[in-house]
Structure 1
Amino acid sequence: MSKPARSGGGADDPSPTREKLHLKPQVVRIEVLGDEKVGKTSLICSLVSRHFSEKVPSVLLNVQIPAEESDENVIISITDTSSRVSDLMRVTNASKRSDAILLVYDLTRPETFQRLRRWLDFIAKNKEIPVVLVANKVDINAVTPTTDGPYASQVRNLVNTYPVRDQQLQVLGCIGLAAVAFGLTQFCVFGEQFVVSEVECSAKNFTQVAQAFFLAQKAVLYPVAPLYNEKKRQLQPKCLKAIKRTFRLYNRDRSGILSREELNEYQYDCFGVRLLGTEIDTLMEYLSSEVPSGVAPDRNGLFVEGFIYLWWLFIDRNRPESGWQVLRSLGYNNDLHLEIPPERIQLSPYEEDQATQLTGQAVDFLTNLFRQFDANKDNNIAEDEVEAIFSICEDEAAPWHTCSAISSPLLYETTLVDGKPTLSLPVWLACWSFVAQENPQKLLETLFYLGYNDKLFPAIEFVKSVLLKSPFLGMDAWSRSLTRKVNKIERNVVSCYIFGSPESGKEHFVHTFIGQIDALLVDDDQFIVRAIGAVPDRDSTKYLFITEALSDDEIELKADVLVLVMNPLDESSKMFVEELDKQLPAAIPRVVISYKPEVQDEAETETKAEEGGDEEELAKEETLGDFSIDATLKQYTTSIKCHEARSVQEEAAQLIVATALR
């Protein structure tokens, strides 16, 4: 199969093609149960050899039909069973290993039907599994029940006892008596049970024997329950999510419309054939009449609503195999869980002095994704648009909320647009850069869901960090100092650890850094302040991650720069910084910040004014205070005075980054 074209067509195109995942052929294990002499063994022999013998073994050994002899390219493993009480444990174990069960009874012996309830109870206790009821020996001129006879009522009661949904047992097929009783000639739904078309088996004449096993196989390979709720005639939530993801993967130009060309690529990738132009015209005409909002103007493609309706139509008309063919090609299992190949989320070996960050192709992919969901094209995306992006992932939360073992939330700057908090593109990329460094496996997993093909374009790269672990105890600081002289930090995320006394205002400083000056501060010792933001650095952008330390080892291993915050109006906070500066590792650069929250400054001025203070006297006190602060800061190598929000977001942030990178 030729590779579908990528938008742009260049070798460095960051919009990867959808990778097709080939699942291994399945093994469908079918167990044949029923009373003695109902013809279980004869049914298996007739299927395999197309020959009927009056003399067959009491129980056959396990029979396997190879994949090349199956239309579905699956191995069929059939287990015959004994009806003797002494073999009950063996039968139980076989049931637990099976994927489907043929429950056989004899049309000429009504008592075998009466004992079906016992068999169904036995199956229900062992495993939730699809069951096909098989009426054998139709070739014998037996009197079969009619739709209005008392026996038909028993069949109806039996099937109603074992509903399909939310119960332990699935009666997917009722071949023979149940079908006769209900007078069905095609697949239909009765209440909450599956009842298939009228089929009566004869092992002797080979009548409908293959059909019985096919129904069991189909129930395993193409289960309807994960896709569709027959009672409500609605797609299941997991199925709906998988369909939306499929649409997203094939909408390669990210227009929100699956064009005719993209629809044909989908058709060819999943089913191996392309549609003719006239066939697409017919499809668009039909969908326009059924779901007008799902078809693009001039019938040039489908919106996601039209694509979803197309899936619903196939499944509602008993064509679940079409949906499963697509889902399995994309890597979904029977529970609609996306099985990501292990090699796609395994990291290559890397050195201790290296860290992970996004590659240029991954940044381009995420930038294009941002612009796709930026509905009003103002370079901001609202929270509901962020939710829409991750709605196709198994974990629908943004990865920066779940990638860390620390429960405290990651803070970042949001801007109110039309009364809604939004993320700018730099903040969006900052959050992703945090995930790349904090949990690269989570990054790869999320990108896989979003359609990024890491095999074609690696999403992460390894860059130099700052610490080379010394083999000698107590030499970490020396090793780190030497490393800093030899190598500069190459990664784009700068890890900053912040310190300060409770009176220092460090939490307020962090909130000011992300533009949340009026944010409600959490007074909780268990709450770890963590924030990330974009900071311009010469001709590039760095992402400053500010956090509190949980241990001394964490500082040694991860800190690029330390920030010590003092409140110029609080002597205890100054003393705290002075003592801490002596204790922290000398090899790690640091910035001492005199921080005076604007709200605190305004409150103090208002208080003094209310007390009748003279304006000149107040100005003189402020000048003397500034001299005192300047004198305090001079004793530190790198320091800055931040008494307004702008200086935190600009001068202080840039100084912290520059200090880490110098």
Structure 2
Amino acid sequence: MHVDSAEATRRQNPAPPKEDKINQNLPKTPTRREARREMATPAAKQRGLRVVVVGDPGTGKSSLIVALAANQYPVTPPRVVPPTRLPVDLFPERIPITVVDTSSSEGRTAELITECQAADAVVLTYACDSPETLDRLSSFWLPKLRSCQVKVPVIVAGCKLDLKDEQQGDLAQAVEPIMQSFGEIETCIECSALRQIQVGEVFFYAQKAVIYPTAPLFDQNIEALTSRCISALKRIFILSDHDMDGALSDAELNEFQIRCFDTPLQPAEIVGVKKAVKEKMPEGVNVNGLTLTGFLYLHALFMEKGQVQTTWTVLRNFNYDNDLKVRADPIPKIAPDQTLELTNEAVDFLRGIFKMFDMDNDGALLPAELEGLFSTAPENPWSSNPYKDCAENNVLGDLSLEGFLSKWALMTLLDPANSFSNLKYVCYPGDFSSAFTITRKRRVDRQKQKTQRNVIQCYVFGPRGAGKTALLQSFLGRQHSDTPTARSERFAANVVELCDDTRKKLVLREIPEVDISSLLSKKESLAPCDVAAFVYDSSDELSWQKAKEMLVQVATHGENTGYSVPCLIVACKDDLARSPLALQESIRVSQDMGMETPIPISVKLDGLNYIFCRIVHAAQKPHLSIPETEAGKARRRYNRLLNRSLMVVSVGVVAVVGIAACRIYAARKNTSS
């Protein structure tokens, strides 16, 4: 936020106001023209900015626009000025600006709201000679903009400065309570269209608020950098600290300055920078150079002095957008039955990061250590579902290395763009192609009768109470509580060690009973699935009947869409008395549908690893264990019959054609004789 006092000089050619120098010994910030190539956002360059002017009638909206566009005061200003395109060279950014005037009459309220919702910034006017119009900002206009979901920066402009009574007091004192209550206000400025005082500055600040927004970087309430800004700057510091000694040396500082501003620092300037920081923040400099504390201190000073564009120049040079997120590389388009997996290079990097943040070397990350690992990201991506409790912890509840890598594997499977963004946030040095590999299509795997995937995804179906959640919890080495849980989708990711000493990542995805219809309503819903497990309570005949219905639904969907998957039947709660009818029926159905016989398990007994091995083995042989419904069998018989009929017809046609050809040949021979 920035407040300009009522004192201003007369300008014939509006130009942006000069900025105060923080300290002559601090790093040189480039002039706006020097740093322009990186400061303006690409979107702003392409489409320009739309600034909408609103306020009470008679506050000077139309006169303000005409005075800027025509560089003179309108003797008879129009009631509403048509949309006005400002000259592109009016400000150094050379970004097109369209200024839209509005009417405050009741009959045009809907039009005003529509214009504000389409704006990049709003200029909200009041009349300096009319204190009640200033009061209306907080009592009507700003609440109105909020209620209409207008989420853009607001510039408060006090018009008719030439008519202001000298006894009215200082602008900052008058608007400070309003600015405290409405954080969307970026700047308050007084101007005069009649005398051409600070007219250009009004729209310069509107443009600046869009291109260099303050709110993402600086919290005005506590007067400190935002947590997201700190995370971004910390990552930039780490990337610039090439020798990883925790400080930016003179050479590293100079390289950073050239990258961001195309301007080297002279040795005396570097000494001056470090001296100025050390005076105010002793821990900001050590024997190796400028520390992270000093680096953050410099940017906090930039914010306090209104030099927001300096920090934005740094952020955009490191590819950050206005939400302080790294602009993601485009994700290659893949088929529905393909997935992405981390490469060995990316996994090795993650192992190194894990070891670096495992401060006590106990092979697990404490919550604080995990937060430290993601301290260079906008937020911890695993703080909520589906990642929060999806992986194995050690006996103390801390995240093990296998759990850490399993979470990355799951995030890559479900959201590769987010996975890559977070790799970049934790300072992965490579590009997308070095981090991920695209798996072969599952249809090709079926043809070749094997899969090359290292991450197997298993959909777990079953009625409520059958034991799905208990199975997932057991996979993570946890005891399942008997307390009913919410009916929501869950994931469990872990490593499965096979008999041949190979290791595969297995992801179990629990499908709630109530979600099956919604899942199967989409044609490609089974495309990412490598194997499906159908769980039922072996002591409950009704549980088996529901599981069978689900199996038929999934098998039918696979036959109709071409995304059939290997399926297994899992008879849970084997420690209880089995239902003879459920046992007989499940065996019969598995035989009829061409599947393996049901696998009995009990989560209360040890030795469950074999069920997870069976799941992985089924996925590794994608041409087997695919259930076939009666409709599918009938369709196959029909196709065989049709193919035989076509073969017979083809043979008959060939025979007829051959006989005809022989007759024609014989006739020609007789004629020639």
TM-score (norm 2): 0.63
1:71 maps to: 92
Q: Is 1:435 the equivalent of 2:411?
A: yes
Distance 1:137 1:567 in 2: 82
The amino acid of 2:333's aligned partner reads S
**CA apart distance, 1:492:** 0.7
1:634 maps to: none
The amino acid of 2:175's aligned partner reads V
1:533 maps to: 494
User: Could you report, residue by residue, the CA deviation over 1:580-619 in whole angstroms, capped at 9, with x for unpaired residues?
Assistant: 3443485556784666856xxxxxxxxxxxxxxxxxxxxx
User: Could you report, residue by residue, the CA deviation over 1:213-236 in whole angstroms, capped at 9, with x for unpaired residues?
Assistant: 334443444443443333432233
The 1:230–1:582 alpha-carbon spacing in structure 2 relative to 1, beyond 3 Å, is same
2:347 maps to: 363
Q: Is 1:159 the equivalent of 2:168?
A: no
1:316 maps to: 304
Distance 1:588 1:34 in 2: 76
1:476-515 alignment runs, 5 A limit = 484=446, 486-496=448-458, 511=473, 513-515=475-477
Q: Is 1:461 the equivalent of 2:437?
A: yes
Q: Is the 8 A contact 2:49 2:207 kept in 1?
A: no
Distance 1:273 1:456 in 2: 31
The amino acid of 2:399's aligned partner reads T
The 1:597–1:311 alpha-carbon spacing in structure 2 relative to 1, beyond 3 Å, is same
**CA apart distance, 1:315:** 0.9
1:27 to 49, 55, 63: 49
1:385 to 360, 366, 369: 369
The 1:265–1:498 alpha-carbon spacing in structure 2 relative to 1, beyond 3 Å, is same
1:217-296 alignment runs, 5 A limit = 217-247=207-237, 250=240, 263-295=253-285
Structure 2: unaligned runs, 5 residues or longer = 1-39, 147-152, 513-549, 622-673
**CA apart distance, 1:119:** 6.8
Distance 1:511 1:156 in 2: 60
Q: Is the 8 A contact 2:456 2:619 kept in 1?
A: yes
**CA apart distance, 1:30:** 4.8
1:307-456 alignment runs, 5 A limit = 307-328=295-316, 336=323, 338=325, 340=327, 344=330, 346-350=331-335, 352=337, 354-394=338-378, 396-398=380-382, 401-402=385-386, 411-416=390-395, 419=396, 421-424=398-401, 426-444=402-420, 446-447=422-423, 449-450=425-426, 456=432
The 1:456–1:660 alpha-carbon spacing in structure 2 relative to 1, beyond 3 Å, is closer
The 1:351–1:317 alpha-carbon spacing in structure 2 relative to 1, beyond 3 Å, is closer
Structure 1: unaligned runs, 5 residues or longer = 1-19, 176-199, 404-408, 469-482, 599-643
Q: Is the 8 A contact 1:564 1:592 kept in 2?
A: yes
The amino acid of 1:443's aligned partner reads S
2:154 maps to: 130
SS in 2 for 1:363: helix
TM-score (norm 1): 0.64
The amino acid of 1:363's aligned partner reads V
**CA apart distance, 1:27:** 0.7
User: Could you report, residue by residue, the CA deviation over 1:607-640 in whole angstroms, capped at 9, with x for unpaired residues?
Assistant: xxxxxxxxxxxxxxxxxxxxxxxxxxxxxxxxxx
Distance 2:325 2:333 in 1: 23
1:17 maps to: none
Q: Is the 8 A contact 1:33 1:104 kept in 2?
A: yes
1:16 maps to: none
User: Could you report, residue by residue, the CA deviation over 1:4-23 in whole angstroms, capped at 9, with x for unpaired residues?
Assistant: xxxxxxxxxxxxxxxx9844
1:606-621 alignment runs, 5 A limit = none
SS in 2 for 1:545: strand
Distance 2:554 2:377 in 1: 32
Equivalenced residue count is: 527
Q: Is the 8 A contact 1:498 1:565 kept in 2?
A: no
Distance 1:449 1:94 in 2: 37
Distance 1:502 1:55 in 2: 76
Distance 1:133 1:571 in 2: 80
**CA apart distance, 1:289:** 4.1
User: Could you report, residue by residue, the CA deviation over 1:497-526 in whole angstroms, capped at 9, with x for unpaired residues?
Assistant: 67999999987776555444x565655584
Distance 1:294 1:590 in 2: 68
Distance 1:72 1:544 in 2: 52
**CA apart distance, 1:163:** 1.2
**CA apart distance, 1:493:** 1.8
Q: Is the 8 A contact 2:321 2:327 kept in 1?
A: no
**CA apart distance, 1:173:** 1.8
2:125 maps to: 103
Q: Is the 8 A contact 1:464 1:490 kept in 2?
A: yes
Distance 1:118 1:347 in 2: 52
Distance 2:420 2:287 in 1: 38
Q: Percent identity?
A: 23
The amino acid of 2:187's aligned partner reads L
Q: Is the 8 A contact 1:496 1:559 kept in 2?
A: no
Distance 2:214 2:135 in 1: 24
The amino acid of 1:532's aligned partner reads A
The 1:563–1:274 alpha-carbon spacing in structure 2 relative to 1, beyond 3 Å, is farther
The amino acid of 1:236's aligned partner reads T
SS in 2 for 1:464: coil
Q: Is the 8 A contact 2:343 2:436 kept in 1?
A: yes
The amino acid of 1:72's aligned partner reads E
Q: Is the 8 A contact 1:31 1:81 kept in 2?
A: yes
User: Could you report, residue by residue, the CA deviation over 1:436-481 in whole angstroms, capped at 9, with x for unpaired residues?
Assistant: 334445434544655558865364433236458xxxxxxxxxxxxx
Superposed CA RMSD in Å reads: 4.7
SS in 1 for 2:303: helix
The 1:430–1:260 alpha-carbon spacing in structure 2 relative to 1, beyond 3 Å, is farther
Distance 1:96 1:529 in 2: 38
Distance 1:574 1:394 in 2: 56
**CA apart distance, 1:421:** 1.8
Q: Is the 8 A contact 2:73 2:193 kept in 1?
A: no
**CA apart distance, 1:313:** 1.8
1:39-118 alignment runs, 5 A limit = 43-50=64-71, 60-80=81-101, 97-98=118-119, 99-101=121-123, 103=125, 105=127, 110=129, 112=130, 115-118=133-136
**CA apart distance, 1:127:** 1.8
User: Could you report, residue by residue, the CA deviation over 1:313-351 in whole angstroms, capped at 9, with x for unpaired residues?
Assistant: 2112222222333445556665x364856x73x550415
Q: Is the 8 A contact 2:88 2:96 kept in 1?
A: yes
